[in-house]
Structure 1
Amino acid sequence: MSTTEKSWGGPLSPLSSATVRLFCVPYAGGGAAVFRHWPALLPPTVAVSAIRLPGRESRISEPPLADIGQMVAAVADDLAATAATGQPYALFGHSFGALVAFELAREMRARDLPAPRRLFVSAHRAPDADVGTPPIRDLSDRDFLDKVIRYGGMPQEVLDSPDLLAMVLPALRADIDAAEGYRFVSGAPLDCPISVFGGRSDSVTPQAQLYGWRSHSVAEVEVRLFDGGHFFLHDNRTAVATAVGAALEVSP
């Protein structure tokens, strides 16, 4: 079965009582499990669906994609089906996932489909900002992992298991390749509100880089900081999920 024949947005919580569906895109190398705790932390009106990228978890047998445009085109087909029902939806992405979520919102507009109720971009600079750091995608596995470990993005249990590491590494490398190969194409700002989340101690995405998102929507763009580094998403899981739930409850 090809990647386009799979469902890309797997629900983690019931859809029946929800008034809005939240599609979550994980960070580089991550899978749906990143958001497994969120259904219990969000109000029942928010149904959580995790974007399931190939090359990990239930899709481990599929080759990972190394191009954000290909990911967006495939995921947008699932989003289009949700939009066609008239149910409001929102997008959340952390780090690499923030870029994917942003481009998903733009792809929905290009298809003349409803915009997300709100776009949440977490731990990532504005898409048109200078990267400022040298690429790592061409490094040897050892040097590549050394860089990833410095970001704090690799669980110790994975590092301690050669078998797990061998399973995770291809998807991680593909996501980094996609992120470093991304080139922003200028276009009109979005018309949905954007919530920008950042970590107060994040050395990968310093606070100053978050404010560039303000030029990417004609609607409200709010910046909110949380205690923690680049992966405050885990360190402050409850606070992040609570902020997401509150923002969706007040969104039009």
Structure 2
Amino acid sequence: MGNSWLRRLSPSPGSGSHKLFCFPHAGGSAISFGPLAKCMGSEYDVIAVQYPGRQDRRHEPLVDSIADLVDGLLPELREAVEDAETFSIFGHSMGSVVAFEACRRLEHEVGASARVLFASGRRAPSAAPPELRIHLLSDRELCEHLLQFGGTPAALLEDPEFRELILSIVRNDYRAIETYECGTDAMVSSPIVAMVGDRDPDASFAEVEVWGSHTSGSFFAKSFPGGHFFIDSNCRPIAQLISDHCARALSS
């Protein structure tokens, strides 16, 4: 797309297509939403956020706070939103919180509201952080955590060079999410759809239901089979869920 924060993943979005901005998980990159983009169809223009310090932005310094991530991406996101007829936002894990804060900023500063905010695999913003701080784990413990969660090939963690790179990014992102604070009164006007894997060790269905207290609009929650990265094995039903809720919001 000719800018540093946003990557268009849809190969050929149709004219007037609904923009879907996607925010990756801790340690993740824009390309993680490639399979979802393929499932969405030409009526959706899927655009993913690329955080600094990874892939084609690997030479840029990492950003270790949610507020600073939103500050960095907001100018380009604002421009993209202003050019869009309609848009929705999807975040997975840490990305759900970045997406929520970006939604709040767009509403307050631009007067632009996402038709739907999709929050995936993450406890509500106001949830108390777990006692275990992942970003303070040793390298060995952090590797064990990543293997337990899935989403990181074991072969990459066995390679010293890749392991060092992966751990530095993941530790940075966990620092960002584990130092994030949000009050119970933080709200968006966009409807929120929350989703979670039924075997996710990091978020239960009851915990994601609390997302409903952070919107003045409608709320819906659904669980899918799988662990923390349930979106990888449920691409088509998640794409259908997104399509159904966007269509409902666009017709209202």
Which residues in structure 2 correspond to 1:1-252 (within 5 Å)?
6-13=3-10, 14-185=12-183, 187-252=185-250
Return the offset for 1:139. 1.9
- How far did residue 6 of structure 1 move? 4.5
User: Structure 1 residues 7 and 172, CA, compared in 2 at 3 Å: closer, same or farther?
Assistant: same
CA distance in 2, matches of 1:207, 1:188: 21
Work out whether residues 13 and 42 of structure 2, in 8 Å CA contact, stay in contact via their aligned partners in 1.
no
Aligned residues: 248
Please report the TM-score for the alignment, with normalisation by the length of structure 1: 0.92
Please, what TM-score do these two structures have when normalized by structure 2? Answer: 0.92
Contact kept? 1:73, 1:107, Cα under 8 Å: no
- Mapped to 2, the partners of 1:10 and 1:239 lie a distance apart of 23
Letter in 2 for 1:249: A
For 1:113 and 1:28, the matched residues in 2 are separated by 28
Letter in 1 for 2:23: V
Distance 2:84 2:238 in 1: 27
- Greater shift in the superposed pair: 184-193 or 21-30: 184-193
Q: Which moved more, 1:207-216 or 1:7-16?
A: 7-16
- Per-residue deviation, 1:234: 0.8
Supply the distance in 2 between the matched residues of 1:30 and 1:109 (Cα, whole angstroms).
26
Identity between Structure 1 and Structure 2 (%): 31
Kept in 2, the 8 Å contact 1:18–1:44? The answer is no
Letter in 2 for 1:7: S
Q: Render the CA deviation track for 1:104-151: whole Å, top value 9, x for unaligned.
A: 101112213311111000011111112234112122211222222222
Question: How many angstroms does 1:86 deviate by?
Answer: 4.4
In 2 relative to 1, CA 107–186 (structure 1 residues): closer, same or farther, beyond 3 Å?
farther
- Cα distance between partner residues in 1 of 2:16 and 2:158: 40
24-33 or 110-119, larger mean C-alpha shift? 110-119
Which one-letter code corresponds to 1:11 in the other structure? R
